[in-house]
Amino acid sequence: MKDNFQHFHEPPRILEGGALLFWGGVTGHPVIGLLCALLVEARSWTDLRWKFGERGFVRAWYLSIGMGLVASAWVWLESASPIFLFEALEWVPVCLLPVILAQNYATESTMPLNTFSVVARRKMLIDRKAGRDVRPIQVHIGYPYLCFVMVASAMTRIDEIAFFAGAGILMAASLFFASSVSRLRPARTVIALFLVFIFGAGGSVGLKALWLRLDSPYSRTGGGFTSGDLSQTAIGKLGTLKQSKGIRWRVQEAPAEEPRLFREAVYNHYSDAQWWHRPIPERGGEGGGRRVELRGKSKQESSEVDKREGDYELLWDRVSEDGIREFAFDEKEFARDPDKRRKLTVKGKVDTKTPLPLPDDAQRLAGLQVTDGGVDVNSLGTVRLENPDHGVTSFEVFVGGRPLHEALPDPERDLQVPLAERAPGRLDANEKWVEDPARKGIRDVCEAWGLRGLSAGAAVQVIRDKFFSREFTYSMFLRSEHPSQKSSAVARFLSDTRVGHCEYYATAAVLLLREAGIPARYCVGYSGQEKNDDGEWLLRGSHAHAWCRVWHGTIPPDEIPDGKDLSSYGRWKDFDATTPRWPELEGSGKKWSQQLVDWWHNIREDALIWRTSPGNAGKINWVLLIAGTFLVVYLTMRLWKDRTRQDSDPGYRWKGETRHTALHELIPSAEKLLGPRGEGRTFSEWILGLLRFFPGLAPDLHQALGFYWRARFDPAGLPQDETAKFEVLVEEIRRRLSTENGLSTEGESVISGG
């Protein structure tokens, strides 16, 4: 109480509330932010207070921990990717609300620091039981709470100037008020703010990069990531390609077919080990080159940022009589009996714009929960889920018939081979391509293998049976004596190393077929390799696969005549260039713990699907609402019972005359540095706090205190001559305070303007 460290700095009014409003605004929870701000700031409008004591603060902390655990569990269950940690951090201001409210509404001005440590608190209790005098460090958690609010606000994806401006203002205010009054305060604040901006900007860039890395709908260790528009392959990378054994999707198929490919995305442009989706332009003529007309462009139609988004069109949708939302490529599909199609049930984690793993003959999707979005498809047949309601979904896919939404081959896109792969070389000084005669390219391999002039079927057979399955080796481990050259890595694979994984095989096959004049595209997705006891396909990260879509037919003309049957030009077919033995060659590599991990994954996923299903979601929300209401009512009743008033009679207050001494004149100046004196704190202990800032005042201040005590508490009072000395002494202290601290004689700060 006397000598222990105390941190009394308390944020000024409105700062905490302003920070919470800012948090609510940037995180998209304005109502919650407003409610929290009102609760925190209402302390200034009411004199209701509680005497929490050490136990009360600990209980508030435990309540915060409980709320934090519930929020983390909730976010963890909801989230589809490792970013759940960020999302959980976003809710820290709400979870810490009990602690900051306890602080703000307590009759005590501080709380023990060991409130937040079970170990330290336990030690204190043991010490006290043993009779030792333990005085915990006292702190005011106003500023730490502000830090948490700012960190939580930074967890948002908003990177607009308004965010940085708002955060800057709040940080500047916090730094300014948190620092002590002195001439150097503005300079200190500016320097601190500058450092905060420097480190903040660096941290923000790093955080965003980490976010993007973790938040990709599909990520692979060692490889890259895949979205509907881009697949970063591991082509050209050396070492072992590691893939997660975690389950990404579960697919129940009845009746089951043997190994199946579940396509997530299709690409048609290859460059530097990356496959891209490039829009296929509409063909002229009435036919337009599409088998069916979809509902229309999706939301991003007018986007100037990425023209690929303009290539997406929404699927037809309707709500069935059972209240289930259905999507179809063709509006007529809704009129067909779904029981006549084979049905797949797909379960897995989803996020915004997640490509769905579908067989190429999918016709209808049912049960997807996308209240504020839909399902879209691009011209290559990549189907994405836009803005799903929950982090995990379960939906049905009705399959059968011919693929409906894949644009006819486009000679410009689907026959393109990068120059560096076609004929390896380099650019000379005049930016002209000079071939390297020592290296063979796709063109040479195509010639050597005799692919030119062959039909698609024959070419596919030659590539697979004559070369890939005989002369090439499947391996996840790659090494090369040459430096890695991504731009011509496929040509090197075909002519030199002949060792690679599915991305090499698929990319090489696509480029060879294109060189031979056969339109081809590159697909990624999953290969069904493993079933569980329930007959579900388990699509793990290690089952991620790449293959080709090959056009079997003739290249359609630019103008499609009206009424022309597009199937007469040909059709796209899957071609898996990788040896069928690739799963065996990779080896299972499953750890002993995988079964436990799978079990937990399935339990968690099924629980979330059950909870978010339309029938159960409402019930659970009601149960949670009622439980939450009971908790709030219980806490309110308990608190109401124990309430007190800020200015309530503490049981004692001196009502007689109080002698005013010269030393009392120093109170306004001292308050600027020390903050207000707590009612239970003696004047001498408080005023001696000035020595922390001005150690040189010690002799004068101690002497003045001697006079003060006698003048104030001696019934005989201070003799006349000593009164004069006392006044001179106090005047001298005031003078030194004002000259050394930049305080005017009125106790106002000259620099800060008060």
Q: List, in order, residues 6 or more apart from 653 with CB less than 8 Å away.
A: none
**The two structure tokens encoding residue 647:** 């200015």
Q: 591 or 660, CB closer to another protein?
A: 660
Residue matched to tokens 């302390």: 43
C-alpha dihedral sign at 165, 166, 171, 176: positive
Strands 284-285 and 274-276, sheet pairing: unpaired
Coarse DSSP helix, strand, coil percentages of the chain, rounded to the nearest 5 percent:
45, 20, 35
Q: Of 134 and 230, which has the nearer Cβ to another protein?
A: 134
Of residues 283, 290, 291, the one with CA closest to residue 558: 283
Q: Nearest approach, Cβ of 745 to another protein (angstroms)? A: 22
Query: Any contact of residue 675 with another protein (CB under 8 A)?
Result: no
Q: Is residue 734 within 8 Å of 668, Cβ to Cβ?
A: no
Task: Give me the 60-99 binding string for another protein, x by CB under 8 A, dash otherwise.
Answer: ----------------------------------------
One character per residue 347-386, x = contact with another protein (rule: CB under 8 A): ----------------------------------------
107/387 with CB nearer another protein: 107
Rounded distance between C-alpha atoms, residue 608 and residue 631, angstroms: 24
Q: Cα torsion at 567, 572, 573, 575 (round to 10°)? A: 160
Q: Answer yes or no whether residue 683 interacts with another protein by CB under 8 A.
A: yes
- Name residues contacting another protein, limited to 692-751 (CB under 8 A): 709-710, 712-716
What token pair was written down for 681? 């704190």
- Identify the helix (H) or strand (E) that includes residue 188: helix 185-215
Indicate which single residue of 657, 699, 720, 721 sits in contact with another protein (rule: CB under 8 A).
657
Q: In the complex, what is the shortest distance from the CB of residue 79 to another protein, in angstroms, rounded to a whole number?
A: 38
First to last CA, the chain: 30
Residue 403 CB contacts under 8 Å (≥ 6 apart), including other chains: 360, 361, 381, 571, 572
CB 175 within 8 A of CB 147: no
Alpha carbon distance 279, 666 (integer Å): 77
List 651, 695, 699, 753, residue binding another protein (CB under 8 A): 651
Shortest distance, position 652 Cβ to another protein, whole Å: 3
**Can you read off the two tokens belonging to residue 360?**
């190429």
- Decide: 102 and 111 in contact? Cβ < 8 Å: yes
The total number of residues written for the chain in this structure:
754
Distance of CA 380 to the CA centre of its chain: 29
Q: Does 684 bind another protein (CB under 8 A)?
A: yes
Task: State the residue for tokens 């698929």.
Answer: 506
Q: Looking at 453, 561, 563, 656, which residue binds another protein (CB under 8 A)?
A: 656
Q: What CA–CA distance (Å, rounded) separates 705 from 725?
A: 12
The nearer residue to another protein, 133 or 258, going by C-beta atoms, is: 133
Least distance to another protein, CB of residue 642, Å: 9
Q: Which is nearer to another protein, 51 or 307 (CB)?
A: 51
CB atoms within 10 A of CB 349: 23
Strands 499-500 vs 354-355: parallel, antiparallel or unpaired = unpaired
- What's the min distance (Å) between Cβ of 683 and another protein? 4
The distance of closest approach from Cβ of residue 720 to another protein in the complex, given in angstroms and rounded to an integer, is 16
Question: Total residues at the site for another protein (CB under 8 A)?
Answer: 41
Alpha-carbon span 36 to 711, nearest angstrom:
48
Sign of CA pseudo-dihedral 236, 238, 240, 244: negative
Provide φ and ψ at 313, rounded to 5°. Answer: -125, 145
Among 425, 678, 689, 742, binds another protein (CB under 8 A): 678
Residue placing its CB nearer to another protein in the complex, 127 or 496:
127
Of positions 533, 679, 699, 739, contacts another protein by CB under 8 A:
679
From the CB of 119, what's the least distance to another protein, in Å? 14
Stretch that binds another protein, among 146-154, 584-592, 600-608, 646-654 (CB under 8 A): 646-654
List the 316-319 sheet strands across, edge first: 316-319, 325-328, 362-366, 392-399, 342-349, 247-254, 536-540
Minimum gap (Å) between residue 681 Cβ and another protein: 7
Q: Interacting stretch for another protein, rule CB under 8 A, among 50-58, 78-86, 160-168, 495-503?
A: 50-58
* Smallest separation (angstroms) from another protein to the CB of 704: 14
Q: How far is the CB of 4 from another protein (least distance, A)?
A: 11
Specify the residue, 58 or 71, whose C-beta has the smaller distance to another protein. 58
For another protein, give the closer residue by CB, 242 or 712: 712
- The correct pick among 10, 90, 108, 311 for binding another protein (CB under 8 A) is 108
Give min distance, CB of 627 to another protein, in A.
Answer: 27
Build a one-symbol-per-residue string for 259-298: x at contacts with another protein by CB under 8 A, - elsewhere.
----------------------------------------
Phi/psi zone of residue 374: left (φ > 0), alpha (ψ -120 to 50 degrees), beta? beta
Minimum CB distance to another protein smaller for 340 or for 655: 655
Q: Contact region for another protein (CB under 8 A) — 442-450, 609-617, 624-632, 674-682?
A: 674-682
Interface positions, 294-353, toward another protein (CB under 8 A): none
State the minimum distance, in angstroms, from the CB of residue 345 to another protein.
Answer: 54
DSSP 108: S
C-beta closer to another protein: residue 197 or 683: 683
Which of 260, 349, 464, 677 is in the footprint of another protein by CB under 8 A? Answer: 677
Name the minimum Å distance from CB 686 to another protein: 8
CB of 52 to another protein, least distance (A): 10
* Contact residue for another protein among 29, 62, 70, 107 (CB under 8 A): 107
Residue 641 sits in the site that holds another protein (CB under 8 A): no
Q: What is the DSSP string of 378-436?
A: -TT--EEE-S-SSSEEEEEEEE-S-----PPP-HHHHT---HHHHS-EEE-TTS-EEE-
Upstream peptide bond of 255 is cis (omega within 30 degrees of 0): yes
List, in order, residues 6 or more apart from 749 with CB less than 8 Å away: 181, 672, 742, 743
For residues 128 and 147, what is the distance between their CA atoms, to the nearest angstrom? Answer: 33
268 CB-near residues (< 8 Å, 6+ apart): 276, 277, 278, 280, 380, 410, 413, 414, 416, 521, 522
Q: Which of the residues 585 through 624 are near another protein (CB under 8 A)? A: none
How far from the centroid of its chain's Cα atoms is residue 717's Cα? 69
Q: Quick one: 78 or 722, whose CB is closer to another protein?
A: 722
- Please report whether residue 431 would count as binding another protein according to CB under 8 A: no
Angle at 666 between CA 665 and CA 668, to 5 degrees: 95
- Residue with Cβ nearer another protein (53 or 281): 53
Q: Which residues lie below 8 Å from residue 55, measured CB to CB, with a gap of 6+?
A: none
Contact flag: residue 55 with another protein (CB under 8 A) = yes
Q: CB-wise, 221 or 682, nearer to another protein?
A: 682
Residue 40 C-beta: closest distance to another protein, Å = 23
DSSP labels, 567-621 = GGTEEEEEE--S-TTHHHHH-----TTHHHHHHHHHHHHHHHHHHHSHHHHHHHH
What radius of gyration, in Å, describes the C-alpha atoms of the chain? 36
Which run of H or E residues covers position 25? helix 15-27
User: Minimum Å distance from CB 47 to another protein?
Assistant: 15
Pick the closer one to another protein by CB: 3 or 431.
3
651 vs 699 by CB, closer to another protein = 651
128-157: contacts with another protein (CB under 8 A) = 128-133, 135
Select 656 or 699, whichever has its Cβ closest to another protein: 656
Name which position in 658, 695, 699, 739 contacts another protein (CB under 8 A): 658
Q: Which amino acid is at 135?
A: R
Q: For binding to another protein (CB under 8 A), which residues are involved?
A: 1, 51, 53-55, 107-108, 124-125, 128-133, 135, 650-654, 656-659, 677-685, 709-710, 712-716
